[in-house]
Structure 1
Amino acid sequence: MNSPIKIRLSLMMFLEFFVWGSWYVTMGTFLGNNLQAKDQDISLAFSTQSFGAIIAPFIIGLIADRYFHAQRILGVIHLIGAGLMYLLYSATDFSGFFPFLLAYMILFMPTLALVNAISFNQMKDPAKEFSIVRVWGTIGWIAAGLLISFLAWDSQAGLSEGLLKNTWILAAFVSLVLGIYSFTLPATPPRAKSSESFKLSEVLGLEALALLKHRNFAIFFLSSILICIPLAFYYQNASPFLTELGVENSTGKMALGQVSEVLFLLALPLFFTRFGFKNTLIVAMLAWAVRYLFFAFGDADSGVWMLLVGILLHGVCYDFFFVSGQIYTDSHAGEKFKSSAQGLITLATYGIGMLIGFWAAGQISDYYLIETGLHTWKSIWLIPAGISVLVLLLFISFFKKEEKEKPHH
């Protein structure tokens, strides 16, 4: 892959994740502060990601794989997305906000697969080349968080002035830029012939269900769904939690989680090869439990280091579980089920697991709401810490060490 194409794909990834990061991290704070949304409303808003993840395979499988060039669909989605972001900016209450957010996420979630497809189409050796391009997505997410904190939209003064609303205009503008830019990207024609018969089971990854006959894969699959419940607590509650505690520049500080993601992504192949799949997942699940304990006992003064360590553990939590899980799935799926197996894992985690997690996080946050509009955060964070430990014990007890644990080269 030549340098100009690498730069063009890297810019695409940067813009794609900048758009997402510019509103997603602070949405919980925005809804509570600007639209006076309740905890259940906030959990419903975050659930749109899961609905999008469940519907995404239909859009990709039906349209992108069959009829249209991927870069053109990407362009159209982001242009429509820019309009929806402006409507979200204009919303004055949650009931006027939610339908546009749901429409946006149903459109946005498939773009995560589209940017990958456009990238893979230009690569001779994706295993070596993809991470160099994909890392620019994480840098885009970090840049969005740092910009929001630099502009002080998430500061106590910014919140009292309602400045967090500007994140939607920022996202709309960058989405518009990406929408136009997408049409200049390298051509990525549809893979399947439009005349070929359409199999719903193939699109949803259901043909890969045969893999669940293997006990170890079934345990991994169940653990993946369950660990997404505590993950949802982080996405939904971390920004409101830090804001409520009075941590300044909280969005910029949360971007440290993505910085650690980059570092641990680079460390993962070495760790995976040396210690094997089972130990890598054990470390990841242990990190989940430790992170939430730090959140439970940290504060904005002398205990702020605990909050920062909790954020920095995001790289271990996310990369060591999800990326190693993708490698494990790929090595077990075989050629026939490679795509459908990854589709099945995505449906299970971002779809089912996160949906349960966002719902649970909303219910629990509401239960520990004090009269003053503040929360008993210690009690809230101890619950996902406990769930992480239970999932870890389940995994250690039933997942047997495999001879062929290491990824195939």
Structure 2
Amino acid sequence: MDRSIRVRLSGMMFLHYLVMGAWVVPLAPYLMALPTDGGLLFTATQTSQIYSTLAIAGIVAPLFIGLLADRLFAAQRIMVVMNFIGCGLMATIAWWCASQQAELAELYHQKLQLAGINGDTLVSPAAGIASQLQRLHQDPELRARVDAIFRPLFGMLFAYAMINLTTTTLTNVVSLRNLERPREMFGKVRLVGTFGWVVSGLVVAMLLNPISNSPMLFACVLSIASGLYCLLLPHTPPAGKGTSIGEMLGLPALGMLRDRSFAVFLICACTLSMVQSFWVIYTNKFLTDIQAPKPTAVQTLAQWSEMLCMALMPLAFIRLGVKWMMVLGLLGWLLRNGLFATGSMPLSVVIGLPLHGLSYCFFYITAQLYIDRMAPLHLRASAQAIFVFVSSGVGTLVGNVIASSIVQANTVGSVVNWTNVWLVPFLASAVILTVFLAFFRGEVPVSDSGHPHPPQPSDGPNSATKSSPGIEVTLSRVARR
């Protein structure tokens, strides 16, 4: 019976992340591409604001999940409905983008002719052409047309993000409530989701046109399949108890900030999430600009390395411990941003992209294990909620604003100075790593009152596998990366 459930839950994860991977990665290049290439001419700021819908939804959606899944409806039934609603929303978004892009492309051609710019020179614009494009892209009529596309798209994508992140969290809820040994088996089930993300990236790159609404239509079809599949999931009735808004935001665990290491850890996690915004939003655009072959397919190297690092984590955790695992993760961020700053396509692809596994898994996943061991039993869920709020919420939102400002300031026409852009997260990563090394002293078990106390003889490597009421919050951050 347990094997049958694991197989069904693995299929759920595969389909869910197949849907997400279909549109999240190619969205930024599509939004920022020139209308002559099929894009929507969004600025870096507008693109960042579109991606911020995911961060805002990540803060707001849990407030509704507690009411729906804990008190009112079976989780798998909510997922069926959410997938079908998501399909309808994404189909509307795809239609809106395609219809508006056609009108925008016509207007853009007219502006090019009036400016005396040959469309053939846009493939690799020289400095003079880039300056002309910069002025052209500030044309009031053109900007007004782009803004008219942006505003409804922002609203529709925010609605879709609410649906999508609700479903993301419910995949964790259904898995954790139905697995016999959730701490042992969840990682293996969730790993299948990462493989689904890889498959969708390969399909989009090899069979579809990423600079179009085709990935969105692909996501629509997959959403229908995912919704129908959810009918086969184990019945997961409401837990019969709800969670207050204060608990969802982690307010009961604020007393843990009196511990210097925990406070330093949260500050570093928040600022690292700002650095991560550069990666999430602009990596695919960067790979496109440095002429990496099949950028969406190439970017799946990051997920392959993530799967490898997740498999190596148990051994590394025993040998290195919490602090040095997270130090290696931070070092991965530093090295990758530095390699991207060189602008070298071979270095960025062959070494930079695979560093994602080290940087993400060794910091973020280890961080959640650290919280689970650091917090007393009654505060674990609240402590995890604080972590999600400052990293996926505040850190991501602020990071999106900073990243878009940096990219916008280093863009002339359609040409981005990526060396200047990636130097910012490189220097930020160096500061975060230095602060973490200097002030974080490692794991310190705490008493039930929330104060640190010396390690007890029973605390060892296996203590991370003890049951925790915060496990669903712990692993939902992994799923929303």
Normalised by the length of structure 2, the TM-score is 0.79
RMSD across aligned positions (CA): 1.6
Identity %: 33
CA contact (8 A) 2:247 2:385 kept: no
1:296, distance to aligned residue in structure 2 (A): 1.1
Q: Secondary structure, in 3 states, of the residue corresponding to 1:36?
A: coil
**1: distance between equivalents of 2:441 and 2:174?**
38
**2: distance between equivalents of 1:183 and 1:352?**
35
Out of 314, 320, 344, the residue aligned to residue 356 of structure 2 is 314
Structure-2 change in CA distance of 1:172 and 1:363 (3 Å): same
Map of 1:352 onto structure 2:
394
**1: distance between equivalents of 2:442 and 2:249?**
29
**2: distance between equivalents of 1:205 and 1:176?**
35
Counterparts of residues 108-257 of structure 1 (less than 5 Å): 108-151=164-207, 153-154=209-210, 159=211, 164-193=212-241, 199-257=244-302
Pair 1:55-2:60 in alignment: yes
**2: distance between equivalents of 1:374 and 1:311?**
22
Pair 1:19-2:26 in alignment: no
Q: Secondary structure, in 3 states, of the residue corresponding to 1:121?
A: helix
Structure-2 change in CA distance of 1:407 and 1:386 (3 Å): farther
Map of 2:423 onto structure 1:
382
Structure whose alpha-carbon radius of gyration is higher:
2
1:299, distance to aligned residue in structure 2 (A): 2.8
Bigger shift: residues 175-184 or 43-52: 175-184
Counterparts of residues 32-47 of structure 1 (less than 5 Å): 32-33=32-33, 34-47=39-52
Q: Secondary structure, in 3 states, of the residue corresponding to 1:345?
A: helix
1:210, distance to aligned residue in structure 2 (A): 2.3
1:96, distance to aligned residue in structure 2 (A): 3.0
Map of 2:91 onto structure 1:
86
Q: Report the AA paired with residue 387 of structure 1.
A: A
**1: distance between equivalents of 2:398 and 2:260?**
24
Map of 2:8 onto structure 1:
8
**2: distance between equivalents of 1:20 and 1:291?**
24
Map of 2:326 onto structure 1:
281
1:379, distance to aligned residue in structure 2 (A): 0.3
1:221, distance to aligned residue in structure 2 (A): 1.1
CA contact (8 A) 1:241 1:377 kept: yes
**2: distance between equivalents of 1:391 and 1:305?**
23
CA contact (8 A) 1:84 1:100 kept: yes
**1: distance between equivalents of 2:22 and 2:409?**
29
Q: Secondary structure, in 3 states, of the residue corresponding to 1:189?
A: coil
Normalised by the length of structure 1, the TM-score is 0.93
Out of 70, 74, 80, the residue aligned to residue 65 of structure 1 is 70
Aligned length: 394
CA contact (8 A) 1:58 1:204 kept: no
Q: Report the AA paired with residue 339 of structure 2.
A: F
**2: distance between equivalents of 1:152 and 1:179?**
23
